[in-house]
């Protein structure tokens, strides 16, 4: 009799465990389906009958529905920003180009020395405005993910040499020696955008280095990253300023005599980060600065 009761109890316990396991497996399967749908971006709460869900599943479904909604809102906002940016860049292009044209036509008229200075100032300010709009459009496109980088594995030398060649004449005019040292090295990088980042570094190096100074560009490969280094013998950057110079519109207090709008390094950092890299500065006031653009050497680092 006792044996029979023990057997019945064991049977009952086994049945309870089996039912519990079956229920847990169903909950796990439904949770798995919810998360998979959410990851694919097609989660809808109505796909799951709430009356048959456990409390945990209901909470998970609500959470995923809320995040799907905010992802949709974010997508819409991005699309609106994209449209706004493209409107701004399109609508300002012609007036700014016309401003420059009229300033140049004005400069060709018989003017007093003061009038000539004013015409030159209008042209310079319009050019600055043009640069600023272009830089802002680029940086917000990168920031909002409208513009994506397409890094591919390749040699850095051709891109670095192309960038340096663009600054040779400007350096020469200013009496700054621009040297291209060792450029052999490889990385996984977007050639067009990385060239723009290197150009920003070279532009600054040539711009801030006084006549008689030198700018050297080189490449060095490490185990995981390759670094493009632009070194100059310019005024250097005080330590307290070094973390600020990558901020949007930031210019060091001593930079006011030199033309600039303060977005070059900000854009350079965005370009580096957009492909899994980073930018570093090493500078000593009165001696010079070295900017390093690190780029991953293989896809795993990105
Ligand atoms: P911009 O040069 O247009 O002002 P950037 O974003 O390129 O803007 O640089 C930010 C600031 O960092 C500059 O205003 C300048 O003060 C400082 N800086 C950048 N590069 C150098 C350099 N090579 N030597 C000295 N100062 C530099």
- Which tens digits make up the pLDDT trace of 225-234? 999 999 999 9
pLDDT at 35: 86
Q: Is 289 in the pocket of ligand 1 (CB under 6 A)?
A: yes
Is residue 1 scored above 80 in pLDDT? no
Q: Where are the alpha helices (DSSP H) in the chain?
A: 2-39, 55-107, 113-143, 157-174, 191-208, 239-242, 264-273
Which tens digit of pLDDT belongs to each residue from 64-101? 888 888 888 988 888 888 788 878 888 888 999 999 99
Alpha carbon of 124 to ligand 1 centroid (Å): 19
Q: Is 206 in the pocket of ligand 1 (CB under 6 A)?
A: no
Q: Whose CA is closest to atom 23 on ligand 1? A: 205
H/E stretch holding 288: strand 288-296
pLDDT at 136: 81
pLDDT at 301: 52
Q: Candidates 245, 249, 272: which one to mutate for ligand 1, based on the most atoms within 8 Å of Cβ?
A: 245
- Of 78, 74, 80, 81, the residue nearest 41 (C-alpha): 74
Alpha carbon of 203 to ligand 1 centroid (Å): 9
Q: Whose CA is closest to atom 11 on ligand 1? A: 251
Q: Is 123 in the pocket of ligand 1 (CB under 6 A)?
A: no
Is residue 41 scored above 70 in pLDDT? yes
Q: Candidates 124, 215, 230, 252: which one to mutate for ligand 1, based on the most atoms within 8 Å of Cβ?
A: 252
DSSP state of 210: P
pTM of the model: 0.74
Q: How far apart are the first and last CA of the chain?
A: 70
Question: Closest ligand 1 atom to the C-alpha of 255?
Answer: 16
Is residue 139 scored above 90 in pLDDT? no
pLDDT at 142: 80
How many residues are given for the chain?
302
Alpha carbon of 132 to ligand 1 centroid (Å): 15
Q: Is 205 in the pocket of ligand 1 (CB under 6 A)?
A: yes
Q: Is 245 in the pocket of ligand 1 (CB under 6 A)?
A: yes
Alpha carbon of 73 to ligand 1 centroid (Å): 37
Alpha carbon of 205 to ligand 1 centroid (Å): 8
Q: Is 176 in the pocket of ligand 1 (CB under 6 A)?
A: no
Which tens digit of pLDDT belongs to each residue from 163-211? 999 999 999 999 999 999 999 999 999 999 999 999 999 999 999 999 9
State the average pLDDT for the chain: 90
Which tens digit of pLDDT belongs to each residue from 142-153? 877 777 899 999
Distances in Å between the Cα of 115 and the Cα atoms of 96, 110, 122, 222 are: 20, 9, 11, 56
Rounded mean pLDDT, 240-267: 91
């Amino acid at each position: 009799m006792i044996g029979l009761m023990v057997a019945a109890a064991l049977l009952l316990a086994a049945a309870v465990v089996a039912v519990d396991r079956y229920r847990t497996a169903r909950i796990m399967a439904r949770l798995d389906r919810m998360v998979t749908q959410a990851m694919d971006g097609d989660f809808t709460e109505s796909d799951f009958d709430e009356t048959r869900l456990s409390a945990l599943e209901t909470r998970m479904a609500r959470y995923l529905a809320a995040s799907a909604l905010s992802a949709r809102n974010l997508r819409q906002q991005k699309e609106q920003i994209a449209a706004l940016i493209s409107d701004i860049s399109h609508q300002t292009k012609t007036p700014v180009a016309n401003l420059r044209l009229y300033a140049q036509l004005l400069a060709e008229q018989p003017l007093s020395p003061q009038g000539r200075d004013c015409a030159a100032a209008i042209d310079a300010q319009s050019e600055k405005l043009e640069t600023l709009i272009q830089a802002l459009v680029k940086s917000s496109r990168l920031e909002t993910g409208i513009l994506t980088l397409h890094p591919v594995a390749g040699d850095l030398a051709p891109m670095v040499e192309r960038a340096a060649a663009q600054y040779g004449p400007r350096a020469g005019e200013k009496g700054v020696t621009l040297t291209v040292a060792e450029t052999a090295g490889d990385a996984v990088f977007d050639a067009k955008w990385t060239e723009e980042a290197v150009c920003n570094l070279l532009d600054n190096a040539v711009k801030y280095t006084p006549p008689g100074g030198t700018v050297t560009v080189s490449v060095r490969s490490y185990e995981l990253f390759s670094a493009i280094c632009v070194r100059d013998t310019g005024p250097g950057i005080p330590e307290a300023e070094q973390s600020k110079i990558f901020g949007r519109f930031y210019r060091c207090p001593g930079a006011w005599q030199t033309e600039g709008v303060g977005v070059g390094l900000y854009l350079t950092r965005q370009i580096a980060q957009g492909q899994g890299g980073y930018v570093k500065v090493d500078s000593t006031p009165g001696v010079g600065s070295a900017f390093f653009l690190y780029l991953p050497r293989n896809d795993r680092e990105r």
